[in-house]
Amino acid sequence: MCGIVGYVGKQQASTVVVDGLRRLEYRGYDSAGVAIVANGAIETRKKAGKLTNLEAEIIQTPLTPSHTAIGHTRWATHGAPNDVNAHPHVSEDGTIAVIHNGIIENFAYLRDELLASGVTLRSETDTEIVAHLLAAQMPASGNLADALRAVCQRLTGAFTLVAVQADTPDLVVAARRNSPLVVGRGNGENFLASDVAAFIAHTRQAIELGQDQIVEITPTSIVVTDFFGQPVDVTEYEVTWDASAAEKNGYDLFMLKEIAEQPKAVADTLIGRIDTDGKVKLDGLNLSDEYLQGIDKIIITACGTAYNSGLIAKYAIEHWTRVPCEVELASEFRYRDPILDASTLVIAISQSGETMDTLMAMRYAREQGAKVLAICNSNGSTIPRESDSVIYTIAGPEVAVASTKAFLTQIVACYLFAMYLAQVRGTAYGQPNEQIALELGRMSAKVDLVLDTSEGVRAIAKEFVNSPSVLFIGRSVGFPVALEGALKLKELAYMHAEGFAAGELKHGPIALLEDGVPVFVIVPPLGDELHDKIVSNIQEVRARGARTIVLAEEGDESINEFAHHIIRLPKCPALLQPLVSVVPLQVFACEMATVKGFDVDQPRNLAKSVTVE
């Protein structure tokens, strides 16, 4: 959710911070603000709305030159998105400024305590109380880091807190619990951010903070301790992509760029993981063959688009390995008393590695004795660090809130694991692993072929732009693709959209069909046992006056007379088809939102990484 940036060093701090916020605006764009330390005082500028509003405010009322600053883009939780509730928040005496990501769950109790002590609260936020608590703690603690340690021990919930103090102009202090925070090590300057994208233009050297840790940065030092002041070991790593990867590179939208990057993302996620004999190699998997041979159940847990990738993975895992697989919404998982033990493998899928529902689900699983395999796109983030093993997707930064290339690479990573598990257990089913590996290696080029036909999809979007509803149906792995197509349309075009298993049409959803309703149908390849059944579904849909947009492989003529529009897909095995069938649905949603005049990269009410439950 919220984007956080902190800087101390030799450059004009407000410029560095605002530039970092621009790279993080996908994390929150209800309001934005910045605080600088200069001449023994704190100055703030903050405005509701997009970051451009803050930039205009700074131009109109310039900040004093400074080498220390913190900044924030907000996704509102406590309090409406307005100027007053925007971060940073400043203590009543004006000496301390704070920004915050997350939710302080005991906020109401602490607020009442402050009000009883005579403090006047200016905002409706849970964040402001931290500024006041820090100011009250300073006389006893003597310095900002110790004060923050004391305050953090009183807070419950998930939070990243970053603070500056008026009389320590070369210091930024931050705390992390269940919310992302990364440190950037520069030359004569250091950085804090909720994502490395904020400082990648200045340094690629990063340190990810662990749970319940405090960091103090000055221009020349980085000190990390726990909430009780004890030193902790940290791991420094190098970010493998550069600043240009997080730019639009000539595209009008980040989402368009990221859709176009999918062939490369698929290819990069496969590199080095399938050898010349078609054997899967997952270096660093850290799960022994003996353990994998002994598991009797797999549970995949995830949220949103990652959940849909898990639904696709279930088909591949069960088909290739014969191990039962369940897919659980992470937000529901630990609250329903699930049955799992040491012979259960839990797969946690998260693009950011910070999705709070997924993190709490995997922690619960580990408490029950299960091992956890993370599938993640963010090196050093919390979910892979707390898992027993990890398969990283190599998608590069994904800035658009609606996920595209992360989705495809999550599917690829799940395929790789399923193939590896089949390899270890000797259970390859239907066709040998080597043949599957060969087909999977061709999928990057096939995704590229689909992108070459995207203009036709855009024309279809323009035709149906005034439709009140769009339906999606599929069978087998086409069903999760239908769910993902509907989700993308809801996220971006704010339309009613639903995905259904095509076999369920006559059990209720068929009542939604009427003249002119567009229905996307994902057709399995020719020869698949479900192919003829879904062709019958197309006829049922058309007979009720709906408009059919049919996704079918090249050479499939059986659907021609029943389809109002046909989107051709390259030939591939049925289990791999989601890698190509979902791409036109991404393009359709993007174009529909664009034609309607909506902000595709930053849809309303949504943020990229949901770091609170």
List, for residues 38-75, the tens digit of each pLDDT value: 999 999 999 999 899 999 999 999 999 999 999 999 87
Averaged pLDDT for residues 584-603: 95
Give the helix, strand, coil percentages of the chain, each rounded to 5: 40, 25, 40
Distance CA 407, CA 177 (A): 27
Report which of 361, 305, 351 is spatially closest to residue 330, judged by C-alpha positions.
Answer: 361
Residue 242 has pLDDT above 80, yes or no: no
What is the pTM (predicted TM-score) of this model?
0.82
Q: Buried b / exposed e across 50-59, counting CB within 10 Å, b at 16+? A: bbeebbebee
What is the DSSP code (8-state) at residue 583? Answer: H
Dump the DSSP string for 218-283.
-SS-EEEEETTS-B----EEE-SS-GGGGS-TT-SSHHHHHHHTHHHHHHHHHTTTB-TTS-B--T
Same fold, 254-441 and 448-613: yes
Lowest mean pLDDT among 8-22, 26-40, 516-530: 26-40
What's the pLDDT score for residue 524? 96
pLDDT one-digit tens code per residue, 157-203: 888 999 999 999 999 999 998 888 999 999 999 999 988 889 999 99
Question: What was the pLDDT predicted at 103?
Answer: 86
Read out DSSP for 286-327? ---HHHHHH--EEEEEE-HHHHHHHHHHHHHHHHHH---EEE
Nearest to 64 by CA among 92, 45, 91, 83: 45
Residue 11, sorted as left (phi over 0), alpha (psi -120 to 50) or beta, turns out to be beta
Candidates 84, 68, 107, 102; CA nearest to 33 is 84
Residue 429 has pLDDT above 90, yes or no: no
Backbone angles phi, psi at 200, to 5 degrees: -65, -20
302 Cβ neighbours under 8 A, 6+ residues apart: 309, 310, 327, 329, 330, 348, 349, 350, 355, 358
Number of C-beta neighbours around residue 498 at 10 A: 18
Q: Name the H helices within 62-199.
A: 107-116, 128-141, 144-152
pLDDT at 609: 61
Rounded Cα distance, 157 and 105, in Å: 5
**Contact between 362 and 372 (Cβ < 8 Å):** yes
Secondary structure element (H or E) that encloses residue 206, with its range:
strand 205-208
Label residue 117 exposed, middle or buried (CB < 10 Å: 0-12, 13-18, 19+).
Answer: exposed
Query: Residue 217: pLDDT above 60?
Result: yes
99's tokens: 């920004």
Lowest mean pLDDT across 358-367, 407-416, 429-438 = 429-438
HEC profile of 431-447? CCHHHHHHHHHCHHHHH
One of 257, 371, 405, 608 is an active-site residue; which one? 608
The Cα–Cα gap between 521 and 534 comes to 8
Q: Interior CA angle at 592 toward 483 and 508, to 5°?
A: 35
What is the DSSP-derived secondary structure letter of residue 456?
H
Question: What pLDDT does residue 381 have?
Answer: 83
Instruction: Compare 472 and 513 and report the one with higher pLDDT.
Output: 472
Number of helices (H), then strands (E), in the chain: 19, 24
Task: Report whether 6 contacts 195 (CB < 8 A).
Answer: no
Determine the 3-state secondary structure of 523 from DSSP. Answer: coil
The residue among 167, 155, 150, 166 whose CA lies nearest residue 129 is 155
CB distance 475 to 535 below 8 Å:
no
Domain boundaries, the chain: 3-241, 254-441, 448-613
Residues 202, 191 contacting (CB under 8 angstroms): yes
Cα distance between residue 403 and residue 409, in whole Å: 11
* Tens digits of residue pLDDT in 285-332: 999 999 999 999 999 999 999 999 999 999 999 999 999 999 999 999
Q: What is the pLDDT of residue 300?
A: 98
Which of 2, 152, 325, 376 is labelled catalytic? 2
Looking at every residue in the chain, the average pLDDT score rounds to 92
Sorted by sequence, the CB contacts under 8 Å of residue 345 that are 6+ apart come out as 287, 292, 295, 297, 298, 299, 370, 371, 372, 373
Q: What's the confidence (pLDDT) of residue 180?
A: 84
pLDDT at 229 exceeding the cut of 60: yes
Instruction: Transcribe 410-428 into DSSP letters.
Output: HHHHHHHHHHHHHHHHT--
Q: What percentage of residues in the chain have a pLDDT greater than 90?
A: 74
Kindly report the CATH number that applies to the domain delimited by 3-241: 3.60.20.10
Angle between helices 405-425 and 262-270 (to 10 degrees): 30
DSSP notation for 12-81: -HHHHHHHHHHHHGGG--SEEEEEEEETTEEEEEEEESSHHHHHHHHHHSPPPP-SEEEEEEE--SSS-S
C-alpha to C-alpha distance for 270 and 274, rounded to whole angstroms: 7
CATH topology of domain 448-613: Rossmann fold (3.40.50)
Give the Cα separation of 578 and 597 in Å (integer).
Answer: 29
- pLDDT at site 380: 75
At 397 the pLDDT is 85
Q: What is the pLDDT of residues 293-305, one digit of tens each?
A: 999 999 999 999 9
The residue-averaged pLDDT of 584-612 equals: 87
Fold for domain 254-441? Rossmann fold (3.40.50)
3-state secondary structure of 329: strand
- pLDDT value at position 430? 58
Lowest mean pLDDT, pick from 77-81, 298-302, 424-428, 558-562: 77-81
The mean per-residue pLDDT over the stretch 480-493 comes to 97
Q: For residues 216 and 231, give the distance between their C-alpha atoms in angstroms, rounded to a whole number.
A: 12
Q: Average pLDDT in the 344-349 region?
A: 98
2 is catalytic: yes
pLDDT for 541 beyond 80? yes
Tokens 């203009």, residue located: 455
Amino acid at 528: D
Q: What is the pLDDT of residue 248?
A: 78
Please tell me the number of Cα atoms within 13 Å of 281 on its side-chain side. 9
Higher-pLDDT residue of 453 and 442 is 442
For 60, list phi and psi in degrees, rounded to 5: -70, -40
pLDDT surpasses 60 at 580: yes
Is a pLDDT exceeding 90 seen at residue 610?
Answer: no
Q: Look at residue 613 and tell me whether its pLDDT is greater than 80.
A: no
C-alpha–C-alpha distance, residues 120 and 539, integer Å: 67
